[in-house]
Amino acid sequence: MDKKPGVYSLAASIATSIVIVLLFYILAAGRVSTNPDMYRPIDMYAGMVYVFVLSMIVSASIWPGIIEKKLKG
The DSSP call for residue 38 is: T
Query: Does 1 score more than 60 pLDDT?
Result: no
The residues spanned by each domain of the chain are 5-72
List, for residues 2-41, the tens digit of each pLDDT value: 678 789 999 999 999 999 999 999 999 998 888 888 888 8
Please say whether the beta carbons of 9 and 47 come within 8 A.
Answer: no
pLDDT of the residue at 41? 87
DSSP line for 51-68: HHHHHHHHHHHHHHHHHH
pLDDT of the residue at 2? 63
pLDDT of the residue at 35? 85
Whole-model pTM: value is: 0.85
Mean pLDDT confidence for 52-64 = 95
